[in-house]
């Protein structure tokens, strides 16, 4: 019974939102705005539950001294510190510790760590390219790595290799762009049919 | 209504009608449609069985996209895979681990897990913390997944959802654990990385076919057939468009 009720609500919400997207009426815009507001509230609640889950996972790791529990402890302590700073910031807006502390944590700890991780991508990709040849010994893999190397040479600032620059530009603008658009069209069709399956009640990740 | 809106609505209605037609057709004929072999989905049950037997874990990543946004469909595709994996591994001492980058996706993963355990009458084995929020930004999520792969003795790493180029970092962490890796993404750059780094990459719209291949539900198969027909329609429009457009323009249908 509950499952059917949930499915009914989901299907009705889906159909209503879809129809209102195409119907340009004030009532429709108001209902859409209301639904979006509800989604925002639910997403905020879900995020809160997600954070509780994150803390619970790491506390369990610390409690059982599972592999990597020291990092979990660091995460938990960091969480408490940033949360305390955030509460101070909200409670006493004039307090510089709360005001600057949260900004410091984001600007001088999280942002540089994320930037460092992103910088690793280049190295990881070159290693992955080498592994591709090792793992898949076929013409497709060789062709992939050759084209990637050609594009890298093409974008390098080498004056005497202007023909390579032209070639790499042609590869990126014609076959690569065409292929990417084809893939994106396919993904769009996949998204469309997945959405319709939810509206038709075939995909019910929320149900019993 | 604008021409673009009419066109979009026509595509939605056409897709809906095709799904219904193929669904009725399959019900009447009693024969499921033949699907081409997709190695990633064909091998998944075997990989799941091997992980259960060897006492290792399967990791399913739903990507860093949020439910309710543009990446909802990708997360749902990941949940389809999770459902199949969870049902096949309820007997395992080490249940699969799911990571999500959004609270709502994490909750849906928990529900998918609980449902699978309930179907197998093994609710007492259900672990709520097997579904985890790994991080709320793309890179913090990546860092969370990399740590999970390293610490949880993962033998199969399945990434199906909304991920960007940072998927290469996750795949590298999986390679370090000698895990078998299946990667499908809704981002073109991530798909290129998947081709390079994964043992089995799901290119294009392949990842949205998970329900049809693993769940064997008639409506999923019907939607896959509808998707194939729509693809042919799109190709026909692209090829014939340059010839038809001047005619429609002279008739005043389009500007």
**Do A190 and B208 make contact, defined as CB atoms within 8 angstroms?**
yes
Q: Where in chain B is the domain with CATH 3.40.50?
A: 39-215
CATH class of residue range B39-215: alpha beta
Task: Report chain B residues whose CB lies below 8 A from the CB of A193.
Answer: 15, 19, 208, 223-224, 226-227, 230
> pLDDT by residue (tens digit) across A9-51?
888 888 888 888 888 788 888 888 888 889 889 999 999 999 9
Distance from CA of A86 to the nearest CA of B (A): 17
Mean pLDDT of B136-145: 94
The pTM is what?
A: 0.91
> Residue B106 is nearest to which of A18, A50, A110, comparing CB atoms?
A50
pLDDT above 90: residue A203: no
A197 close to B (CB below 8 A) = yes
Gap between the Cα atoms of B233 and B238, Å rounded = 9
> Residue B186 is nearest to which of A60, A121, A187, comparing CB atoms?
A187
Task: Report chain B residues whose CB lies below 8 A from the CB of A110.
Answer: 140
> pLDDT by residue (tens digit) across B112-135?
999 988 988 888 888 999 999 999
Taking a C-beta distance cutoff of 8 angstroms, is the pair B108, B134 a contact? no
**Do B5 and A190 make contact, defined as CB atoms within 8 angstroms?**
no
* Higher-confidence position of B52 and A72: A72
Q: What is the complex's ipTM, to 2 decimals? A: 0.90
> pLDDT by residue (tens digit) across B204-224?
899 999 989 987 788 999 999
> Residue B151 is nearest to which of A68, A127, A132, comparing CB atoms?
A68
A112 close to B (CB below 8 A) = no
Q: Which of A15, A132, A187, A195 to mutate to test the interface with B (most CBs of B within 10 A)?
A: A187
C-alpha distance from residue B117 to each of A1, A205, B80, B92, B127 (Å)? 20, 14, 15, 11, 10
Q: Which of B61, B62, B119, B50 is nearest to B90 (CA)?
A: B119
Angle between helices A177-199 and B72-88 (to 10 degrees): 70
pLDDT above 80: residue B88: yes
Mean pLDDT of B224-245: 92
């Amino acid at each position: 019974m509950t499952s059917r009720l949930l499915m009914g609500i989901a299907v009705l919400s889906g159909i209503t939102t879809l129809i209102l997207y195409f119907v340009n009426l004030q009532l429709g815009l108001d209902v859409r705005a209301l639904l979006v507001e509800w989604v925002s509230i639910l997403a905020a609640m879900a995020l809160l539950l997600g954070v509780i889950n994150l803390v619970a996972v790491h506390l369990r790791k610390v409690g059982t001294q599972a592999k990597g529990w020291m990092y979990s402890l660091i995460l938990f302590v960091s969480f408490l510190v940033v949360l305390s700073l955030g509460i101070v910031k909200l409670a006493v807006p004039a307090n510089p510790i709360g005001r600057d502390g949260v900004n410091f944590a984001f600007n001088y700890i999280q942002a540089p760590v994320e930037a460092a991780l992103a910088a690793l991508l280049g190295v990881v990709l070159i290693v992955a390219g080498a592994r591709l040849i090792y793992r898949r010994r076929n013409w497709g893999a060789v062709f992939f790595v050759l084209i990637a190397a050609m594009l890298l040479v093409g974008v390098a600032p080498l004056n005497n290799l202007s023909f390579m620059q032209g070639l790499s530009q042609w590869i990126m603008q014609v076959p690569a762009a065409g292929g990417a658009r084809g893939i994106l069209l396919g993904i769009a069709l996949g998204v469309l049919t997945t959405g319709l399956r939810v509206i038709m009640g075939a995909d019910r990740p929320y149900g019993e | 209504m604008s021409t673009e809106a009419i066109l979009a609505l026509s595509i939605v209605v056409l897709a809906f009608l095709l799904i219904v037609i193929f669904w009725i057709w399959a019900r009447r004929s009693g024969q499921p449609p033949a699907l081409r072999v997709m190695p990633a989905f064909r091998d998944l049950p075997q990989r799941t069985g091997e992980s259960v037997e060897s006492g290792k874990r399967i990791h399913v990543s739903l990507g860093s996209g949020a439910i309710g946004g543009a990446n909802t469909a990708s997360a749902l595709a990941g949940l389809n895979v999770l459902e199949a994996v969870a049902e096949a591994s309820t007997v395992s001492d080490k249940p699969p681990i799911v990571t999500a980058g959004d609270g709502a996706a994490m909750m849906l993963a928990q529900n998918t897990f609980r449902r699978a355990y309930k179907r197998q009458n093994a609710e007492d084995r259900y672990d709520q913390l097997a579904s985890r929020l790994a991080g709320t930004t793309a890179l913090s999520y990546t860092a969370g997944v990399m740590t999970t792969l390293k610490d949880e003795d993962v033998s199969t790493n399945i990434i199906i959802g909304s991920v960007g180029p940072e998927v290469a970092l996750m795949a590298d962490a999986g390679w370090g654990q000698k895990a078998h890796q299946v990667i499908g993404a809704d981002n073109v750059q991530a798909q290129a990385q998947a081709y390079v780094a994964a043992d089995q990459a799901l290119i294009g719209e392949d990842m949205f076919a998970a329900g049809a291949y693993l769940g064997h539900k008639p409506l999923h198969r019907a939607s896959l057939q509808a998707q194939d027909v729509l693809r042919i329609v799109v190709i026909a429009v692209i090829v014939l468009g340059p010839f038809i457009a001047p005619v429609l323009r002279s008739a005043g249908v389009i500007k």
